[in-house]
């Protein structure tokens, strides 16, 4: 990351910050991260011109920028890193999935992990490279990525993989895993409600109550 970009971003975010907002957001995030106090719309508006200027830089440099932003203590810089990757995801390749998974495992919480799941899903584009390993990873957040990487794929979802992944992790007591199972199933239910209804009915004894409830949240009783 160039000093000029760093300085310009610092200035833009400082001007976009709302006085008094940072303590409330920090408390909402369980005091895990420092914040500047910049709301999402304000952050995106402030950073967008700077991120657009990076169009055309190499994919490797995109990753380097993201890593540099990840090192800042204030959470908004990680959000800007994700905005950068989301804006230029078409420049990324399957070879960059391990780099994205490294970010998943650093300063991990649902906010950055779920946003990175969307970027990873875009880069994979109906493939599953690395996800069979991710579902068995010792880091819970990487396993969550494997569960969520097909969100929004509709008829492109690998249904067998979705159901198998859900059952592989169905025994876990971790809230964020149980929730992700339900979320992934609920998302696919928008495309094929009968398949999800049949699966959750058959496997109800294996799924947690949370996963089952989330999966069937918008499904009517047959």
pLDDT in tens, 207-220: 999 999 999 998 86
What percent of the chain has pLDDT above 90? 95
Q: DSSP secondary structure string, 128-191? A: -TTHHHHTT-SSHHHHHHHHHTTTT-GGGS-HHHHHHHHHHTTT---HHHHHHHHHHHHHHHTT
The verdict on domain 1-92 having CATH code 1.25.10.90 is yes
Q: Where are the domains of the chain?
A: 1-92, 100-221
Residues linked to residue 74 through DSSP beta bridges, in sequence order: 34
Query: What's the rounded Cα separation, in Å, for the pair 165 and 143?
Result: 9
Phi-psi category of residue 16: left, alpha or beta, with phi > 0 → left and psi -120 to 50 → alpha: alpha
Domain covering 100-221 in this structure, CATH number:
1.25.10.90
Query: What's the rounded Cα separation, in Å, for the pair 76 and 96?
Result: 23
Where helices occur in the chain by DSSP H, the ranges are 3-16, 21-28, 40-52, 59-70, 75-87, 97-104, 110-124, 131-134, 140-148, 159-168, 175-189, 193-202, 209-215
Confidence of residue 67 (pLDDT cuts 50, 70, 90): very high
pLDDT at 125: 94
What letter would DSSP give residue 36?
-
Instruction: Compute, in degrees rounded to 10, the torsion defined by CA atoms 193, 199, 204, 210.
Output: -50
pLDDT at 3: 87
pLDDT at 182: 98
Question: Span 138-157, mean pLDDT?
Answer: 98
Residue 154 pLDDT greater than 70, yes or no: yes
Query: What's the rounded Cα separation, in Å, for the pair 57 and 122?
Result: 19
Residue 96 pLDDT greater than 90, yes or no: yes
Confidence of residue 74 (pLDDT cuts 50, 70, 90): very high
Same fold, 1-92 and 100-221: yes
pLDDT in tens, 162-184: 999 999 999 999 999 999 999 99
Is residue 24 classed as helix, strand or coil in its secondary structure? helix
- pTM recorded for the entire structure: 0.94
């Amino acid at each position: 990351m160039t000093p000029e970009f760093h300085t310009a971003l610092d200035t833009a975010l400082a001007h976009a910050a709302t006085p008094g907002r940072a303590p409330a957001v920090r408390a909402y995030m369980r005091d895990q991260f420092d914040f500047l106090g910049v709301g999402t719309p304000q952050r995106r508006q402030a950073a967008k011109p700077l991120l657009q200027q990076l169009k055309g830089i190499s994919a490797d440099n995109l990753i380097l920028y993201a890593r540099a932003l990840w090192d800042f203590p204030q959470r908004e810089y990680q959000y800007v890193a994700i905005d950068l990757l989301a804006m230029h995801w078409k420049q990324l390749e399957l070879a960059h999935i391990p780099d994205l998974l490294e970010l998943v495992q650093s300063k991990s919480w649902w906010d950055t992990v779920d946003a990175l799941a969307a970027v990873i899903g875009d880069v994979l584009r109906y493939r599953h490279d690395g996800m069979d390993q991710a579902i068995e990873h010792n880091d819970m957040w990487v396993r969550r990525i494997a569960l969520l990487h097909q969100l929004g794929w509709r008829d492109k979802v690998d249904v067998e993989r979705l159901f198998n992944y859900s059952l592989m992790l169905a025994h876990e007591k971790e809230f964020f895993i149980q929730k992700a199972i339900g979320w992934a199933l609920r998302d696919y239910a928008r495309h094929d409600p009968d398949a999800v209804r049949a699966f959750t009915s058959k496997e109800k004894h294996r799924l947690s109550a949370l996963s089952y409830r989330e999966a069937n949240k918008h499904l009517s009783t047959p």
